[in-house]
């Protein structure tokens, strides 16, 4: 995997690198002052680190950002975007006009924090402690899947070293022997509100990094030779390397160097002008970063492989989580499918995939944030990652999921053990807010199958969807209600019980589809025909069918969900009907109390979502 | 702070402690087999550790769990609840009948994972890596606020050491010199799905723990003398101590000792019977855990202190986040108020509190999970914690907030920099799903003030509310619209513009109240009178006033929110009106695209929530 650093004889001189660093500083100041906001001082501290990287080590074809063995660079300290964009200017892909004239403007691709609107940015950063976890995912791809000699370089801030996610990431980097990963920590001592916890105590950082299994290289982050040497060593290492670079915040502008109170503040125009002059004025140095040779073709496109889905007999009792695992195995025929576990693969059934495709299964142990971070990184490398844990514990990674949407990552998430239906383990293990949380993620898809057939079919669909896709599965085994070849388009729904005389529409999803079907049987015996909808696609929602069914039943609806009432299926239905301009009377049965432990049926009864309670709500609607 | 271990001459013999451990094992097996679920093997590994603690070290008055200087015990590995409840039997507060007859039954207080339904449980656990962060909060209370000599003992599993939150917690424990905290890691080598990452590599754990500033004591977790010695050392230490106890999962039942495949599985009845017999049969050993002397009275109740709120002039432009900080300072007159920061206190304005009450301000640096964990621990000790970060980053701690609700913790959270209104920093810094996430937390309150007066008043209200209370604040400064003495009851709303001829109801909250008021001015000029509601209490919602206003305006509503549409204010309004049985036509203006960077007004326009867009939606409703 390791690659030689660029040959010393053909590279720019140290004087040129120094000039480049000064240009990066001047440009960082210029663009932030022009924008009236941004983080110049956090950019200045890392300018020497990045100038050295670009001039002497980074291998990248700027005309072909998709080139498979380009090195990858992640600014985990996303607020140093002025530096990143100044680097883009130095390699000629962003003009000085764009940099200084559009930074942080509405509509500009040069946003306050980097996003993949820029073709050279693989993942969005700005929520600290997330760039490195994504970098671990990319380095996993490089070492185990792409098997190419590119390196992943991650620039971290020192403040973000306080995030637990950084240690989850370094732990996994060491566990997987990611010698292709180099982390550069810009230890500039000052955070947003004052000194960081460890300030310039590089020795404390060193001990932590080494204890977590990585190689630590403490250096002076303004000494070009030391930086160069560290980068060279990193490329020869047999482990991930963390370069601990002691730097000065605001370096290069004496009035603000190492001074508190200058975080996230542009220099006033006069001060900026003076500083730029002192740094050597405006320049347009150009730096070349040759790609590695030979140039491989882009990682091969996914071949068109048939994915024969598992088949289940009608009436057979199969848990949807089991069907998810079965479908993953089927999908495994496609070489881009990878699966990431949070040490619960025997509950979520990702272990089924592991048994067949161990080389595309990554164990993150119990670190849900890193699990999603890895998924984002793998997605950025062109893979189709599935990550699964209990629905309840998806909340641990919510910030990562939110950022995945900004990264435009295509990731499949599965949350198992949803709702009070899990029973005895109690509320800490019950996903009861996951639909609300996942619906609110930008561009997300939220799926909630009721049986094994639909669970397998929807898992298959997930592999080809864009954005964050969430599948909610159930712990217990319930009867298969769909024949094997039924299709489940995203944004659709199924009317699973209907007559021409239906008086009320019962809407369920997942386990409550079975509740609704049983309630319909009960009501039918009483002479009350009801329609039942399986709302397996919670987002996007099948507004058209809902409107039609609601009209057919006189606008009377009962929504039943194993989820807290806020932000769940009931509100999704209300939103859809309201947007369509429909009038309706709706009884919303959801989990309103704090559940405890108990048998699933007892807990569903206690939550007010049992068969009899659905029937009672239906009768009550008709009595009104 | 340090206290001597119990005098050796008066304590039970080692033989008795061994007997106790065997009883705990037998009882853990009995209750899980009776329940048909649960985690016996994870209980067996820690039985010697806990028997030694209870027999020789723990100081606790079981008749008075509120006693101020009781030691505190947290099972961070909450799935070992059989062991915890067996300990409760051994001290005489839970009967054998309750233990074996009700464990995991519907309605039992002996739930699958511990919750504060039991008076001896301070915080709910079961989401791994959260008990220790809460323990850090309790130890902060003990050392810096209560100033009593109780100790906080936390039992961790080894699997949860992979959670970044554990390292955030140890880091803060060391930073604050919490010598009153003892962490006992039950290193039983096996996780849910197989071997843990580090298995029995105590040396690797030792290096990590010491690198994070704590004292590490590796021991044999089945050697009562080694355990005893470690506990004694911990009580003499000047730092937090982490006891790394090598144990055997399933210890005491040779057929399952150190065997994979037995996680979370009760023994079949016959096997259980045999195991209990081998462990010495059913017993009722009683262990005494004397409280410390002298017995202090319970931590003094909060004195009734006047909290004169800051006053703002009508029309003055003040950011709600600034008013939150001002109100915190006012609340500081109450000695139970504490504030926790995630290194953004100069953005959230908690720094105002720090300036006046530094002794009740705790800096968690950038570790939002630990920030909420500390809040939960402080709440469990009777304090009223406020924790603040950007609304976007509250998502980092969502699992902690979810668990706080199960812990019945009373915590005040503030998320600043909500919505696209923040402008140039871009989407990574914009809270756009926080309302959905926080509404879906059980028993939560969600507040969103529009001006400084209401922000200060609501902050004041937060201090006396139960459960998780979330206040959403805005970055920019907007005019004060309420006079200083206006009151803002929780669950209320304000009609801020009305006439008898109002044709449409505009509903805003936070920044969009100003948008709605400006739109109302615009529409008034066109001869369209509209009513405007400030929905400052998003949850609970003022259904009564909403219904009255909706009826007065012919059921025509426009809801405007700086949040994604799912789970936000619009859906809260739909839910309230639907539950009340009202018919309505509602235009829902919310952030539907992925925002970028830009000026606040431009971004609000791009998101479709500008003044003109509200007016247009209003006209469109009337045209229909």
Average pLDDT over residues B411-434: 98
Residues 6+ apart with CB under 8 A from B147: none
- Give residues 126 to 165 of B whose Cβ lies within 8 Å of A: 126-129, 159-160, 162-165
How far apart are alpha carbons B409 and B403 in whole angstroms? Answer: 9
**Contact in structure between B132 and B400 (CB atoms under 8 Å):** no
Residues of B in contact with A345 (CB under 8 A): 193
- Sheet containing A494-497, strands listed edge to edge, beginning at the edge strand earlier in sequence: A494-497, A530-534, A504-508, A556-560, A585-589
**Residue among B453, B455, B542 nearest B505 (CA):** B542
- Is the confidence at residue B292, as pLDDT, over 90? no
pLDDT tier for residue B290 given thresholds of 50, 70 and 90: confident
CA dihedral angle for residue A553, residue A557, residue A562, residue A568, rounded to 10 degrees: 120
Choose among B129, B193, B406: nearest Cβ to A594: B406
Choose among B162, B366, B392: nearest Cβ to A367: B162
Compute φ and ψ for B27, nearest 5 degrees.
-70, -35
What residues of B are labeled active site? 368
- Give residues 195 to 254 of B whose Cβ lies within 8 Å of A: 196-197, 204, 207-208, 210-213
B136-154 pLDDT, tens digit each: 999 999 999 999 999 999 9
pLDDT tier for residue B310 given thresholds of 50, 70 and 90: very high
Token representation of residue B521: 């001015």
How far apart are alpha carbons A58 and A72 in whole angstroms? Answer: 9
A279-312 pLDDT, tens digit each: 999 999 999 998 887 777 655 667 778 889 999 9
Query: Do the chains contact at A596 and B107, CB–CB below 8 Å?
Result: yes
Report CA-CA distances (Å) from A387 to A360, A462, B402: 12, 12, 21
How far apart are alpha carbons B305 and B303 in whole angstroms? Answer: 6
How far apart are alpha carbons B176 and B168 in whole angstroms? Answer: 12
A191 near B CB under 8 A: yes
- Sheet containing B152-157, strands listed edge to edge, beginning at the edge strand earlier in sequence: B72-75, B152-157, B181-187, B241-246, B215-220
Distance from CA of A254 to the nearest CA of B (A): 24
Choose among B192, B566, B588: nearest Cβ to A344: B192
Determine the residue of chain B that is closest to A204 in CA distance: B211
Beta-strand relationship, A337-341 and A361-363: parallel
**Residue among B540, B567, B534, B317 nearest B431 (CA):** B567
Distance from CA of A347 to the nearest CA of B (A): 9
The residues pairing with B181 across neighbouring beta strands, listed in sequence order, are: B152
pLDDT tier for residue A7 given thresholds of 50, 70 and 90: low
* DSSP assignment of A40-61: HHHHHTTHHHHHHIIIII----
B36-85 pLDDT, tens digit each: 999 999 999 999 999 999 999 999 999 999 999 999 999 999 999 999 99
Distance from CA of A442 to the nearest CA of B (A): 7
Angle formed at CA A247 by CA A244 and CA A250, multiple of 5 degrees: 150
Choose among A193, A596, A602: nearest Cβ to B111: A596
Which range among A169-183, A444-458, A567-581, B7-21 shows the weakest confidence by mean pLDDT?
B7-21
The Cβ-side half-sphere exposure at A381, using a 13 Å CA radius, reads 34
Beta-strand relationship, A445-447 and A537-539: antiparallel
Averaged pLDDT score across all residues of chain A: 96
Query: Do the chains contact at A433 and B166, CB–CB below 8 Å?
Result: no
Beta-strand relationship, A477-479 and A317-319: antiparallel
Residues of B in contact with A347 (CB under 8 A): 192
- Is the confidence at residue A1, as pLDDT, over 50? no
Token representation of residue A113: 């924090």
Count Cβ atoms within 10 A of the Cβ of residue A583 and give its class: 0-12 exposed, 13-18 middle, 19 or more buried.
middle
How far apart are alpha carbons A108 and B426 in whole angstroms? Answer: 11
pLDDT at A594: 97
**Contact in structure between A240 and A182 (CB atoms under 8 Å):** yes
- Is the confidence at residue A442, as pLDDT, over 80? yes
pLDDT at A3: 38
B190-217 pLDDT, tens digit each: 999 999 999 999 999 999 999 999 999 9
Residues 6+ apart with CB under 8 A from B547: B576, B577, B580, B582
What residues of A are labeled active site? 368
* DSSP assignment of B475-544: SSEEE--S-TT----TT--EEEE--TT--EEEEE-THHHHHHHHHHHHHHHTT--EEEEE--EEES--HH
How far apart are alpha carbons A604 and A599 in whole angstroms? Answer: 9
Q: Where are the alpha helices (DSSP H) in B255-386?
A: 269-278, 320-331, 345-348, 351-356, 368-380
Beta-strand relationship, A468-472 and A445-447: parallel
pLDDT at B2: 35
- Is the confidence at residue A124, as pLDDT, over 80? yes
Sign of CA dihedral A552, A553, A554, A558: negative
B581 near A CB under 8 A: yes
Mutate to test the interface with A, among B35, B204, B424 (most CBs of A within 10 A): B424
pLDDT at A294: 78
Q: How many beta carbons lie within 10 A of that of residue B451, not counting itself?
A: 30
Token representation of residue B49: 């550790």
Query: Do the chains contact at A425 and B347, CB–CB below 8 Å?
Result: no
How far apart are alpha carbons A157 and A171 in whole angstroms? Answer: 18
How far apart are alpha carbons A67 and A382 in whole angstroms? Answer: 12
**Contact in structure between B88 and B43 (CB atoms under 8 Å):** no
A112 near B CB under 8 A: yes
**Contact in structure between B323 and B484 (CB atoms under 8 Å):** no
Determine the residue of chain A that is closest to B265 in CA distance: A425
How far apart are alpha carbons B280 and A396 in whole angstroms? Answer: 42
Compute φ and ψ for A144, nearest 5 degrees.
-105, -20
A195-231 pLDDT, tens digit each: 999 999 999 999 999 999 999 999 999 999 999 999 9
Mutate to test the interface with A, among B36, B206, B425, B594 (most CBs of A within 10 A): B425
Determine the residue of chain B that is closest to A213 in CA distance: B204
Query: Do the chains contact at A164 and B78, CB–CB below 8 Å?
Result: no
B601 near A CB under 8 A: no
What pTM value is reported for the model?
A: 0.97
* DSSP assignment of A168-190: HHHHHHHHTT-TTEEEEEEE-SB
B341 near A CB under 8 A: yes
Q: How many helices and strands in chain A, by DSSP H and E?
A: 22, 19
Query: Do the chains contact at A427 and B575, CB–CB below 8 Å?
Result: no
Averaged pLDDT score across all residues of chain B: 96
pLDDT at B10: 76
What three-state secondary structure class fits A137? Answer: helix
Residues 6+ apart with CB under 8 A from A71: A58, A59, A60, A150, A151, A152, A153, A292
pLDDT tier for residue B624 given thresholds of 50, 70 and 90: confident
Query: Do the chains contact at A427 and B443, CB–CB below 8 Å?
Result: no
**Contact in structure between B556 and B505 (CB atoms under 8 Å):** yes
Choose among B115, B213, B343: nearest Cβ to A193: B343
Determine the residue of chain A that is closest to B157 in CA distance: A366
A373 near B CB under 8 A: no
Tell me: ipTM over 0.95. yes
What three-state secondary structure class fits A453? Answer: helix
Helix (H) or strand (E) holding A558: strand A556-560
Choose among B171, B207, B586: nearest Cβ to A162: B171
B557-602 pLDDT, tens digit each: 999 999 999 999 999 999 999 999 999 999 999 999 999 999 999 9
**Residue among B18, B46, B19 nearest B251 (CA):** B46
**Residue among A302, A299, A359 nearest A334 (CA):** A302
**Residue among A362, A381, A360 nearest A370 (CA):** A362
Residues 6+ apart with CB under 8 A from B208: A208, A211, A212, B167
Token representation of residue B72: 């505190």
Distance from CA of B197 to the nearest CA of A (A): 7
Instruction: Quote the percentage of chain A above a pLDDT of 70.
Output: 98
Average pLDDT over residues B491-495: 98
- Cβ-based contacts under 8 A for chains A and B: 342
How far apart are alpha carbons B90 and B20 in whole angstroms? Answer: 8
Residues of A in contact with B106 (CB under 8 A): 596-599, 602-603, 606
Residues of B in contact with A204 (CB under 8 A): 211, 213
């Amino acid at each position: 995997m390791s690659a030689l650093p660029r040959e010393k004889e053909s590279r720019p001189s140290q004087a040129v690198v120094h000039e480049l660093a000064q240009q990066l500083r001047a440009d960082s100041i210029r663009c932030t002052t022009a924008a009236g906001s941004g983080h110049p001082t956090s950019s200045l501290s890392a300018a020497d680190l990045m100038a050295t990287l670009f001039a002497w080590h980074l291998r990248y074809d700027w005309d072909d950002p998709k080139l498979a063995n380009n090195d990858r660079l992640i600014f985990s300290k996303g607020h140093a975007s002025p530096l990143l964009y100044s680097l883009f200017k130095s390699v000629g892909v962003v003009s000085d006009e764009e940099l200084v004239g559009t930074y942080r403007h509405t509509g500009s691709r040069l946003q306050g924090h980097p996003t993949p609107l820029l073709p050279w940015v693989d993942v969005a950063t700005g929520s600290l402690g997330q760039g490195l976890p994504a970098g671990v995912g990319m380095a996993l791809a490089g070492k185990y899947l792409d098997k190419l000699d590119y390196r992943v370089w991650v620039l971290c801030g020192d403040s973000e070293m306080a995030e637990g996610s950084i240690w989850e990431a370094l732990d996994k980097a060491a566990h997987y022997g990611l010698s292709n990963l180099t982390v550069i920590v810009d230890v500039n001592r000052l955070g947003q509100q004052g000194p960081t916890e460890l300030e310039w105590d590089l020795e404390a950082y060193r001990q932590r990094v080494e204890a977590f299994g990585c190689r630590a290289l403490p250096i002076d982050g303004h000494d070009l030779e030391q930086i160069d040497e560290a980068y060279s060593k990193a490329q020869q290492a047999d482990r991930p390397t963390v370069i601990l670079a002691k730097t000065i915040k605001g370096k290069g502008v004496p009035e603000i160097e190492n001074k508190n109170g200058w975080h996230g503040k542009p220099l006033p125009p006069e001060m900026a002008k003076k500083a730029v002059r002192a740094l050597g004025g405006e320049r347009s140095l150009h730096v070349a970063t040759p790609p590695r040779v030979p140039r491989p073709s882009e990682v091969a496109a996914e071949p068109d492989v048939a994915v024969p889905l598992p088949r289940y007999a009608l009436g057979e009792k199969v848990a949807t989580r089991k069907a998810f695992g079965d479908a993953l195995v089927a999908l495994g025929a496609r070489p881009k499918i990878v699966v990431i576990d949070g040490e619960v693969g025997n509950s979520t059934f990702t272990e089924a995939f592991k048994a067949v495709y161990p080389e595309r299964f990554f164990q993150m142990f119990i670190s849900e944030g890193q699990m999603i971070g890895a998924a984002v990184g793998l997605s950025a490398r062109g893979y189709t990652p599935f990550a699964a844990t209990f629905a309840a514990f998806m909340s641990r990674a919510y910030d990562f999921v939110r950022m995945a949407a900004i990264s435009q990552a295509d990731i499949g998430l599965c949350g198992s053990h949803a709702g009070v239906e899990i029973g005895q383990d109690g509320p800490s293990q019950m996903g009861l807010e996951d639909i609300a949380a996942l619906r609110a993620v930008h561009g997300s898809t939220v799926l909630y199958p009721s049986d094994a057939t639909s669970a397998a079919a929807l898992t298959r669909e997930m592999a080809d969807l864009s954005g964050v896709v969430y599948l909610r599965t159930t712990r217990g085994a319930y009867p298969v209600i769909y024949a094997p070849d039924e299709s489940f388009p995203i944004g659709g729904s199924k009317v699973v019980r209907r007559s021409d005389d239906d008086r009320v529409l019962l809407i369920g999803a997942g386990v409550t589809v079975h509740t609704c079907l049983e309630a319909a049987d009960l009501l039918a015996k009483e002479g009350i025909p009801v329609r039942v909808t399986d709302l397996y696609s919670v987002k996007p929602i099948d507004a058209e069918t809902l409107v039609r069914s609601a009209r057919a039943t006189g606008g009377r609806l009962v929504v039943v969900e194993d989820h807290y009432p806020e932000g769940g299926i009931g509100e999704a239905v209300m939103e859809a009907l309201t947007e369509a301009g429909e009038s309706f009377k709706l009884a919303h049965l959801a989990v309103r109390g704090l559940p405890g432990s108990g048998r699933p049926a007892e807990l569903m009864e206690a939550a007010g979502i049992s068969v009899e309670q659905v029937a009672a709500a239906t009768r009550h609607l008709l009595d009104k």
